[in-house]
Amino acid sequence: FLYISIRRKIFLNYLFLGTGTFMFCSANLGVMLLFLDSDPNQFSLDCYQIGAALILVFMPRFLNGIVPIAKINLLAWRVVKIIGYMGLTIAVLYVFPFFKFNFFFTTLVANSLTGFTAMVFFYLLVVLSIAAYRRSPRAVSLFLVYLVYLGIAFGAVLLPLFGSDNNGLNTFFLLLGGSIFETIAFMLMMAKVTLAIYKERMKLYIQVQSNQEIMMSTLMKSQEDERKRFAQDLHDGFGQLISSFNLNLSSLETIKKS
């Protein structure tokens, strides 16, 4: 609805990012709740891989819609986009049974997505810190939110590794709380962007209205000046014609008397 109303890609990027986050968290919770034991087609792993790929692709684009981080390093930004497309491609291939049940390809997908995500997240951390240092609009708040986001993401991965998962409950509450925090924080930032867009469009609308009024005033003044000039020319021409007629009439009377 917001995209149709405002026509900014940030809302589509957030839609796909939210979808990826939902799939990623659902897959993690499915693993925690032993859903994989009754999942012979590995649907949970499909959700996990595609969700991770969607986050990889649309997280940078969404953040760039809030703070123009692409301007900091255009070459690196293009590399990040290519990495995202590569991750999404291998994640989509993973859905097909030929690749899904191939141990080599499964390992390749997992390692590739992990490496791609690490590179992209590190790039975003660096450019957001630079933007925050430069005091770009909304950069400081976005940098802080992004730090919390990274902490939640890495915490969900590291808790089981260090034996602090408490049968999955810690990961569950961490992902749940992180998802709620991310949703609220990102939507507040989108609200700021939407308000800025609205103010910019209102300013542009007022400027257009003012320009139209100036143009109409100028046009009316030009038409009025043209009418006055035409009336003056007509008056002068008609006066000269009367004077010439009187002169000719006087000449005829003089000739008649003679």
Question: With contact defined as beta carbons under 8 Å apart, do 99 and 93 qualify?
Answer: yes
Q: What is the pLDDT of residues 91-134, one digit of tens each?
A: 888 777 777 777 777 788 778 888 888 888 888 888 988 888 88
This model's pTM is above 0.85: no
Per-residue pLDDT of the chain (258 residues; tens, 9 = 90+): 666 666 678 888 888 888 888 887 777 666 555 544 555 566 777 777 888 888 889 989 888 888 888 888 888 888 888 988 888 888 888 777 777 777 777 788 778 888 888 888 888 888 988 888 888 888 888 888 888 888 877 777 676 666 666 556 677 777 777 778 878 888 888 888 778 777 887 888 788 888 877 888 877 777 777 777 766 666 666 566 666 656 656 665 666 555
Cα separation of 9 and 14, whole Å? 9
C-alpha distance across the termini of the chain, in Å = 97
Three-state DSSP state, 196: helix
From the number of C-beta atoms within 10 Å of its C-beta (0-12, 13-18, 19+), residue 22 rates as: middle
Cα separation of 153 and 155, whole Å? 5
Task: Return the residue matching tokens 């602090």.
Answer: 164
Instruction: Locate 86 and state its tokens.
Output: 């590569």
